[in-house]
Chain A
Amino acid sequence: MRIAIIGAGIAGAAAAFEIARQGRRASVFHDVTGSSGLYSGALDFEPWDCADPTRVLEPDLSEFSKQLGTWKLGAATRHVATLEGNVRPTRGSDRALLDLERCAGKRVAVVDLERDDWDAPLLAKSFANSAWAKQTGTEFFALPVAVLKKGFERRISGFDFAALHDAAERAQALEAALRSSNVRADAWLFGPWLGIERQLADELSAALGVPVGETTSAPGGAAGARFELARDRLMARLADAVRGRLLSLERVTGGYRLHLRDHAPLEFPIVVLATGGVAAGGVALERSFERRGGTGFRLSFDAPIALELDAEVVEGVSSLANVDFVERGLDALLRVGIAVQADGSLPGNPGLFAAGDALAGRPRTALVAADSGLQAARAALDFARRLG
């Protein structure tokens, strides 16, 4: 019984992992970067200010994280520094993020370099002002380090700057620069620039004997790129991953026919949709004049699936203009999606499952995506067993 997964963000990757763990191999079709590749590097179930720190991680999720290789996901909540000067709790993170728990009560040097997107003195002031820093008596201070080698490095994107540090000579130069500092630092906090392929944060920590790590990433930064790299390696091991954009999903006897760009139509009895929400481009918004016959939200591919917003079907809203965000709030963009049952199955569509940001009304967080991917995979496997 073959299973197709559409989308290879966190949800799709988790679904493929679970299917492999249970002894099968899924076909994964994925196209461009979605919201997982644009995430901050912090791993949450809920927005962090209303998170339940006692929520138990299920073993499969921990195992997925381990196999992925780019996450640190422990049992306890810990703190990370954000790109905008906050200290926030998180269940886990990209492994390059500085684990502030290891720096509590110490002196953390915020690396000061003349990047346009980085202002170490004001960031250090902001971190030092956080409730966590005050409670733990942790100091943050800006410390100039000669990291930029050429003028243009001041303005290139954070991702490009991080990628520069994949080169061995750059990594060595960085280590030498930190070593030559004559100011004592118990830990070093960088922006999200410590390599994409190279695990430079770990290397530097080991070499210097003190924690060295990053803040969270801006959308399109290093953390997302590292996820994509780790995901590609995982998929190569566990699944048959193919580049291809889903154009339409058609229901046929005994399953679904997938029309993918540049592929002949393929049929699968079981399909897991991990196509993302509005941020990923999996759900699109159209104004009345942009498309005939239906306004509002729709999936980015043709499929006989209605979208829901706040438990109400929103495809073809009864408005001549648009979804009214003045009325609904702009964050409706984060609530709209596919309505599913508890196990991720779509009512009335046997063999069809959905996970991740594609789901209506779930928090758009990394761990909810991973968790729903695992669940959808289990439900898909149950369905496969029932079919025999």
Chain B
Amino acid sequence: MARDLDIDPSGRALDCDVIVIGGGVNGVGVARDAALRGLKVALFERNDIAFGASGNSSGMIHGGPRYLTYDPAVTQSSCLDSGHIQRIAPHLLFRIPFLMPVFGSNAVKSKVMLTAIDAFFDLYDAYQPLKAGKNHVRLSAAEIAELEPGLVGGAAGGITFDEWGIDGARLCIGNAVDARERGAEIRVHCTVTEILRREDGSVYGVRFRDRASGQTGQRTARVVVNATGAWAPITTSLGGLEPNAARIRPGKGIHVFLDRRLTNYAIIAHAIDGRQVFLLPWQNMSVLGTTDDDYYGDLDHVVATSDEVSYLFQAVEHVFPAVRSARAIGTWGGVRPTLYDWGPNEDELSREHQVVDHRAHGADGLYSMIGGKLASYRLFAEEMTDVIATRLGNTSAKRSHVSPLPGGDEQVDPMQLVVQGGMEAVTATRLEYRHGGRSLRVLERMLEKPREAAVVCSCEPVTEAEIRYVIEHEFAHDVSDVARRTRLGLGACGGMRCALRCGRIVADATGRSPEVGQQLALEFLTQSARRRSAAVGAAQARQEALSLSALQAEFGSGSREP
């Protein structure tokens, strides 16, 4: 057994212990945990870290009260892990208080409903201490009107409860950076083209192709982990396995994001089909979500449709009419890799996760991670790493719940950045949010090169120093990568004022020509315009037309665009 495990078919020693395919939250979580336990790791990501569901989720580390009735184990583990994530990355979490108003024409019925919800949240409160959450509060109609004046009148009362928000992409980046600093090799924009198997069917590595350079290569390892989320069936087929070996039920979810925070609370509303949707204040904008529909399209190009957008607007305008005049500045689309089941509605599918050992399919050494959610990624990664550790005889202690993520080990007062770096307070606060203690490293750059203190994206805002920092230390190769890490260009102007500047910086920092920089910026602008186009309404149309005209003055008809 040991002989087989440690050499490739030609008798050479294997390059590493674990290869992880996929740079979503599960993949980077496993890479980090395995690296923490001293294993030698290589991770391959076809697009960018957090490109798929992880970077396009609702951005919450929630305790999952939704699952309490039919999957309380998910609620329990989510709450527990929410607490762990707070400890390892305190800078990344922000409180989102939810408000669930109860409407109804029948006063008695509404009161019964309210009492039932109240009782339900009594149950949920039992889990709140696990994640430093506050207990729920039952509110009267008058209190609701005072706390959230934008809500339509007529609520019989309501409930507030407490959740945590997070920037999912930053969480993934933190894990990937930590893994690399602990010796893991992280390859982004590098796709696995084949999972290598020995004659006996066991897996010993992967072949890959760098999508930017076209360079191909091979890495061998004792274990290969398929953490590719919705891509999981496609990935297993790269090893000659039936796609059904890692079966998921792909559920597309979209979000619309709106300019500014429109509400004090995250508002829960019911859609036309009875599903719960929400409008939540998230970072410096509002997020309207979400849908859950079976999806069979291209996973590299998941884009919201006008139908999905209309469905969400229609649901929320019932209770919060001002959403109609809000400016939709973008959409997210992601595909959940839900556990496979034939029959149930999308919403009723289990949010549990499981590790598939492909020894059952004749591919010893290959594992697939199926299901799961952002909130419990760490636990899932730990379970996967436990399986690997057992297999490889590694007995190191588990530390992923106590070892801080990069920037999570040191508290920085944003005012320090203001005083020392001359940053504006909002710039400093946002920088500190994204980088925690490591914002000091960005500050250092600015002090060394004052030119880099320039605010490139004024909507977010993002400085040149931060852009260069994420290129040098966080695997960013193009403008979209920078946007994912810093939120550059995702604000009200849609990148009109910053994307091209960012492209020049990316090109300069990576030794490419200014032309390439423009190309990268145009790719970003084209993709984000495409994502916005399903949600363009009255308030955004003029901005879109203006951006297009400005681009035309700069580049001509657009025939040079990709």
- Residue in B313, B505, B556 whose Cβ sees the most chain A Cβ within 10 Å: B556
Does residue A58 face the partner (Cβ distance < 8 Å to B)? no
Contact among B537, B552, B554 for A322, CB-based, below 8 A: B537
Complex Cα distance, B464 from A334, in Å, reads 33
Q: Mark A27-69, 1 if CB is under 8 A from B, else 0.
A: 0000000010011101010111110000000000000000000
CA–CA, A114 and B449, complex, Å = 12
Please tell me the size bucket of the interface on A: 35 or more
Tell me if A286 counts as interface (CB < 8 A to partner B): yes
On whether A281 and B542 interact (CB within 8 A), knowing A84-B501, A125-B514, the answer reads: yes
Task: Please give me the residue from chain A that is nearest to B540 by CB atom.
Answer: A285
> Which among B317, B514, B550 is the interface contact of A218 at CB below 8 angstroms?
B550
Min CB–CB distance B515 → chain A (angstroms): 6
Interface residues of A in 97-134 (CB under 8 A from B): 114-117, 119, 122-123, 125-126, 129
Q: Is the CB of A334 within 8 A of B529?
A: no
Q: Which of B314, B553, B558 has the most CB of A within 10 A?
A: B553
**Cα(A284)–Cα(B544), bound, Å:** 12
Whether A326 contacts B548 by the Cβ 8 Å rule is no
Note all chain B residues with C-beta closer than 8 A to A331: 548, 558
B536 contacts chain A at the CB level, 8 A cutoff: yes
Interface pair A321/B536, CB less than 8 Å apart:
no
**B468–chain A nearest beta-carbon distance, Å:** 12
**Interface residue B500 (Cβ < 8 Å from any Cβ of A):** yes
A333 & B550 in contact (Cβ 8 Å cutoff):
no
CB neighbours of B537 from chain A (8 A): 285-287, 290, 322
Our pick among A46, A86, A114 for the contact of B554 (Cβ within 8 Å) is A86
- A47–chain B nearest beta-carbon distance, Å: 4
Q: A288 contacts the other chain (Cβ, under 8 Å)?
A: yes
A109 to chain B, nearest CB (A): 18
**A84/B500 contact (C-beta < 8 A), A129-B515, A330-B548, A364-B552 known:** yes
A47 touches which of B303, B534, B556 (Cβ 8 Å): B556
Decide if B553 touches A82 in the complex (CB within 8 Å). Answer: yes
Q: Is the CB of A277 within 8 A of B556?
A: no
Residues A284 and B500 in contact, CB atoms below 8 Å apart: no
The yes or no answer to B560 lying at the interface (CB within 8 A) is yes
Write out the residue numbers on chain B whose beta carbons fall within 8 Å of the beta carbon of A5.
none
Known A-B contacts A285-B541, A326-B305, A331-B548; A49 and B533 likewise in contact (beta carbons under 8 Å):
no
- Check B554 against A82 for contact (C-beta < 8 Å): yes
Report the Cα distance A376→B126, complex, angstroms.
74
In the complex, what distance in Å separates the CA atom of A38 from the CA atom of B542?
12
Q: A348-367 CB contact bits vs B (8 Å, 1 = yes)? A: 00000000000000001000
What B residues does A38 contact at CB under 8 A?
546, 549
* Option from A288, A321, A333 in Cβ contact (under 8 Å) with B545: A333
User: B534 contacts A333, CB within 8 Å?
Assistant: no
Q: Does B508 contact A122, Cβ atoms closer than 8 Å?
A: yes
Are A114 and B538 neighbours in the complex by a CB distance under 8 Å?
Answer: no
CB-CB contacts of A120-158 with B at 8 A, as 1s and 0s?
001101100100000000000000000000000001000
Any A CB within 8 A of the CB of B557: yes
Q: Is A278 an interface residue (CB 8 A)?
A: yes
Indicate if B451 sits at the interface (CB-CB under 8 A).
yes
- Known contacts A129-B513, A321-B310; is A333 also within 8 Å of B548 by CB? yes
On chain A, the residues within 8 Å of B530 by CB distance are 326, 330
Across the interface, name the chain B residue whose C-beta is closest to A151.
B422
Question: Given known contacts A279-B542, A290-B538, A325-B533, is B454 in contact with A116 (CB within 8 Å)?
Answer: yes
A70 within 8 A of B: no
Hey, what's the 0/1 contact readout for A278-300 against B, CB within 8 Å counting as 1? 11010011111110000000000
A331 smallest CB distance to B (angstroms): 6
Q: Is A83 an interface residue (CB 8 A)?
A: yes
Out of A48, A85, A325, A364, name the residue touching B556 (CB < 8 Å).
A48
Q: Which of A86, A278, A320 contacts B541 (CB 8 A)?
A: A278
Contacting A at CB under 8 A, from B443-474, are 450-451, 454-456, 458, 464
Q: Whole-angstrom distance between the alpha carbons of A329 and B555 in the complex? A: 18
Beta-carbon contact of B458 and A289 below 8 Å: no
Q: Is A116 in contact with B518, judged by CB distance below 8 angstroms?
A: no
Residues of A within 8 A of B464 (CB): 119
- Are B544 and A84 closer than 8 Å at their CB atoms? no
Q: Of all chain B residues, which has the CB nearest A86?
A: B554
Least CB separation from A155: chain B residue: B455
Apart from A126-B517, A287-B310, A290-B537: 12 A-B pairs, beta carbons within 8 A: A42-B553, A44-B553, A114-B450, A116-B456, A119-B464, A326-B303, A326-B530, A326-B533, A333-B544, A334-B548, A334-B552, A364-B549
Q: Which 4 interchain pairs have the tightest Cβ spacing? A: A49-B556, A47-B557, A279-B545, A40-B553
Sample of 15 A–B contacts (CB below 8 Å) = A40-B554, A47-B557, A84-B500, A125-B504, A125-B514, A218-B497, A281-B542, A284-B541, A287-B313, A289-B313, A290-B325, A324-B306, A326-B306, A333-B544, A364-B549
